[in-house]
Structure 1
Amino acid sequence: MPVLLVTVLLAAGGWVWVTLATPSTGRLLVAVAGGLTGALLCAAVALALRHGRQARAARAEAAALRAELGRLADDTLPTAAKRMREGASADTVFTEIPLPANQTHQRILHTVTKEISFGQRQRSAAMAACASAASRMQALATSMLADLREMENRHSEEVLGDLLKLDHSTAQAGRLADSIAVLTGARSGRRWTKPIVMESILRGAMGRIRAYQRVRLHSASGAAIVGYAAEDVMHALAELMDNATKFSAPSEEVHVYVEELHTGIVVTIEDGGLGMKPQALERAKKAVSASEPLDLARLSGTRLGLAVVGSLARKHTLEVFFRPSSRGGTGVVIRIPSRLVTQPREEFPATAPQPVLAVPAATRAGGTASVSSSAVTAVLDGQQAQQPERSLPKRRRGQTLANTPQPTPRPQPPRPRTDAGARFGAFRQSLRSNKPDGPAANPDS
């Protein structure tokens, strides 16, 4: 506005001076022409000022739209996607996040949110279906293993080798089902209520891989893993052992070392393969890292082992490291934290030491020392004796107690055996009985 006013004043003053300086005969024509020219000039200036204001307003609006679009792309949409990945619905997200002021941006946010919600529902449904299938496979594998163990104890030696092969194949199928369950967020197929010793953990992991004959254990640890984590630790070790056998020559052995530290148990798996390239090693470190979330889109269809190990490591705060092996291949070090390590539970309580009986003074009747059974019963004070009863030595008149012949101890009946040898002997006895439908005879009876 000031610019227009200044323009009008300058134009009017200039043409007035020109008109006054013109002779009287042409003054009217100059005044009219000057007036029209001044009016046109003022109109042009006013129009230019208006377009300038409009251009500035358009630039400001464009800047505001760019800023709002940047907030939509950098803040609003990621927040909405994160909330929907956590399980919130699209309508709930709309009530929680700030909506953009522009109607077009609101429609963009609504459309993208609906598509993300639909994709999350499809993903959840697929994960639930995979978890259900994995649970069924786990139950089927467990049932098949139980049937195979029963047949191994019932059939003859001619089919025992074939049954053991089927047992091993079924155990590998069960491990694959457990891997799918881990990746889909389902629970493991087995649960233990008591600690499992480290030796059993390692041998259980060996039994679930194909080339278990090539694994050599070097363990003198007497510690155990708590029951709720024993199955997952066994599964993680099985996956690492399986990788070690797959990526090394068939003639090479895989060595497993166990070391107990104050921070837990360290298990080292070393193979004699060709090692890993830097890119593959970096991908492996990310797969087993406790800080990297599981990304199913990056999984390969044939290599699920490290992703499973990473999921189990994040669940139980296991630490997995890679390093060059002293055998020329790759070494994997897994550290089990001390909170998962305990001492094995006693299967059978140790035999309590026999109490020392304070035998009362012997009554002398005719020079013969004797102790009545009622005195022994009183000393036991209601406790049940664990040893068979023995008669106390007696001496004749004029004979010292040291020279008195000791009574012959009663033969003790053999205790029933409960070890694996007894079970195998019962199995062999049932084979010799030629009665496949009858019960196996007990060799210790």
Structure 2
Amino acid sequence: MSTLIHDIALMAVPSGVALGAGAVAVHYRRRAIERLAAVRQLESRVCDGEQRVEARDEEARHLAEHRLPALITALSCGDADGYRDVGLLHPSLAASPTGVAHQAVLDQVSVLVHEASERAEGAASAAVQAVVRSLQALINEQQVAVTALQDLRSDEDTLAITIPIDHASSQLARRAQIVGILTGMWPGRQRADTPLQETVRGGVSRIRDYLRVEISGEPTSYVAGRVVEPVVLAAAELLDNAARHSEPGTKVYVWFLEAHNGISIIIEDAGIGLSPEERERAARLLSGQDPVRITELRNPPRFGFLAIGQLAARYGFHVSVEQQSVHGGVRAVLHLPRALLVAPPPPASPSANGSQEAATSPDHPYPVAEDGLPMRRPKRGARVQPGAPATSSPPPDAGRHLAAFIRGNDSARIPSTDQEQTP
């Protein structure tokens, strides 16, 4: 208003009408300039707003097409530690409500996917454990039946039929044990201290191509009872892997190397070997450091190295594979530290004919007959009445039947839970 009054005052100056008209023109020109500046300011604000809206739209598309899929893929593959968020397309929006909201979405999705993965893993592990337990029960029944048949009839024809069945059952039992170990179950058998060579032979007996395995060396150390079954399973998996990945006509060699810190079981084959990538992956699996998740196994799954790694980490031995075999294949090393080994038991004090002396010694209350049954001796001073019927001797195979009965009772007392028993 003051500008307009000033312009009117200029029009009242007696210098002429032209001067007044010029003043009016100046006033309206100034007003036009001011309005033009306001319009341009509004246009700039509109343009800036449109750019911000476009940036937020781009961030929304980037979130839906890249950031969320990358996060879900990493979580579903179990690679949450290796996941790196690519971040915003427009870093200037990081502290804005849009950036904060997008990060909240990622965090919520991460929590939901993790919870869903844990539920799926728990359900899968429970289902696998239920199947393994039912299989183990059936396998045990089959092995007991085969043992009973072998005890009843030990002729060559019967053995020719039952031995392959028993061998197949032992392999099936091993596979069930391996799958169970991946779900956290313990091996399921408690052993006594066992010579190292017999422990390795136990692993040999549980693979299909056991005739191809050649063992050299006679170590004198014993394996502690609590780790006998885990070592048997680990050795069996290594031997089976060596046999399956080498030519059928070749041998798998096993020998022992005693060192200051323990004893190593060395397994060599003449197979195709391992590539650097396969060797690196094998080392990672055999370390047992990564948790095993049933829902994240490869297709087809490979259980052997995974289970060996879990056994090694749980019981304290070490397994490695290297492409150093002199035969061009793979050398696997299972190292047992001294803490897992025990000294051989002292030799028995009785002489070799101790059983015969016990059978004839008058101080032994129950002498033992040749068939394994105790034999009662008449009391001192007792006489056999004339005409009394002679006592009939037991059948020749009664001792073997009794031993089978005892073995059956002992096997029935093996704990069937998946809680590890300690001596």
Structure-2-length-normalised TM-score: 0.65
Letter in 1 for 2:168: S
For residue 155 of structure 1, what is the amino acid of its counterpart?
Answer: R
Partner in structure 2 of residue 169 of structure 1: 168
Q: Which residue of 1 aligns with 2:121?
A: 123
Which residue in the other structure is 2:25 paired with?
30
SS state of the match for residue 142, structure 1? helix
Can you list the C-alpha shifts for 1:386-431, whole angstroms capped at 9, x where unaligned? x99xxxxxxxxxxxxxxxxxxxxx999998599xxx78xxxxxxxx
> Cα distance, 1:101 vs. partner?
8.9
Which residue does the alignment assign to 1:262?
260
Greater RCO, CA 8 A, separation 6+: 2
Could you say which structure has the larger radius of gyration? 1
Cα deviation 1:271-306 (Å, max 9, x = unaligned): 122333344333333332344443653435364222
Q: Does 1:44 align with 2:24?
A: no
1:40-63: CA deviation from partner (whole Å, max 9, x where unpaired): 144236536755886898899999
| One-letter amino acid of the counterpart of residue 334, structure 2 | I
Q: Is the CA contact 1:299–1:307 (under 8 Å) kept in the aligned structure 2?
A: no
1:129 is displaced (CA, Å) by 0.9
Structure 2, unpaired ranges of 5+: 81-97, 352-356, 373-393, 401-423
C-alpha distance in 2 between matches for 1:108 and 1:411: 87
Aligned to 1:274: 272
Listed as ranges, the gaps of 5+ residues in structure 1 are 1-10, 86-99, 353-386, 389-409, 424-436
Query: 1:304-341 CA distances to partner (integer Å, 9 max, x unpaired)?
Result: 22222222222234232323211232211121222211
**Root-mean-square deviation over aligned CA pairs:** 4.7
Contact 1:138–1:177 (8 Å) recurs in 2? yes
Which residue of 210, 229, 232 corresponds with 2:230?
A: 232
Identify the residue that residue 419 of structure 2 maps to in structure 1: none
**Which amino acid counterpart does residue 161 of structure 1 have in structure 2?**
A
Residue number in structure 2 paired with 1:187:
186
- Counterpart in the other structure of 1:330: 330
Q: 1:438 to 1:351 in 2, by over 3 A?
A: closer
Matching residue of 1:340:
340
Q: Would the aligned equivalents of 2:262 and 2:335 in 1 still touch at CA under 8 Å?
A: yes
Q: 1:57 to 1:270 in 2, by over 3 A?
A: closer
User: What SS does the corresponding residue of 2:292 show, helix, strand or coil?
Assistant: coil
Does the CA contact (< 8 Å) of 2:282 and 2:321 recur in 1? Answer: no
Aligned pairs, how many? 338
Matches within 5 A, 1:40-439: 40-44=35-39, 46-47=41-42, 102=100, 106=104, 109-110=107-108, 113-157=111-155, 158-192=157-191, 194-294=192-292, 296=294, 297-301=296-300, 303-317=302-316, 318-345=318-345, 350-351=349-350, 416=368
C-alpha separation between the residues in 2 aligned to 1:273 and 1:107?
Answer: 51
> Any conservation in 2 of the 1:139–1:189 contact (CA below 8 Å)?
no
Q: Deviations over 1:227-284 (max 9, x none)?
A: 2211111100001111111122222111100122221110111112233334433333
Q: Deviations over 1:120-177 (max 9, x none)?
A: 2122111111012112222332332233223212214031221112111111110011
Q: Distance in 2 between matches of 1:206 and 1:113?
A: 46
Number of the residue aligned with 2:388: none
Distance 1:326 1:124, change over 3 A: same
Separation in 1, partners of 2:249, 2:174: 24
Residue of structure 2 in register with 1:440 after alignment: 397
Amino acid in structure 1 at the alignment position of 2:180: A
**Distance (Å, rounded) in 1 between the aligned partners of 2:73 and 2:248:** 48
Q: Is the 8 A contact 1:135 1:189 kept in 2?
A: no
- The 8 Å contact of residues 75 and 110 in structure 2, kept in 1 or not, is answered as no
8 A Cα contact 2:286 2:308, kept in partner: yes
Q: Return closer, same or farther for 1:104/1:329 CA change in 2, 3 Å cut-off.
A: closer
**Aligned residue in 2 for 1:379:** none
Once residues 78 and 251 of structure 1 are traced to their aligned partners in structure 2, the CA distance between those partners, rounded to angstroms, is: 44
Query: How far, CA to CA, are the matches of 1:272 and 1:415 in structure 2?
Result: 55
Report Cα offsets for 1:99-125 as digits up to 9, x if no partner. Answer: x99556545644553344234212211
Stretch deviating more after TM superposition (43-52 or 267-276): 43-52
Task: Measure the CA separation in 2 of the matches of 1:135 and 1:261.
Answer: 39
Q: Whole-Å Cα distance in 2 between the matches of residues 174 and 141 of structure 1?
A: 7
Q: Do the aligned partners of residues 295 and 442 (structure 1) sit closer, same or farther apart at CA in structure 2, a change above 3 Å counting?
A: closer
TM-score (structure 1 length as normaliser): 0.62
Call closer, same or farther: CA 1:199–1:162 in 2, change over 3 Å: same
Distance in 1 of aligned mates of 2:74 and 2:159: 60
Secondary structure, in 3 states, of the residue corresponding to 1:213? Answer: helix
Which residue matches 1:90?
none
* Structure 2 contact 75–113 (Cα < 8 Å) conserved: no
Is the Cα–Cα contact under 8 Å of residues 191 and 227 in structure 1 kept in the other structure? yes
Task: Give the secondary-structure state (helix, strand or coil) at the position aligned to 1:219.
Answer: coil
Instruction: Classify 1:137/1:438 alpha carbon distance in 2 versus 1 (closer, same or farther; 3 Å).
Output: farther
Q: Counterpart of 1:336 in 2: which secondary structure?
A: strand
Counterpart amino acid of residue 330 in structure 2: T
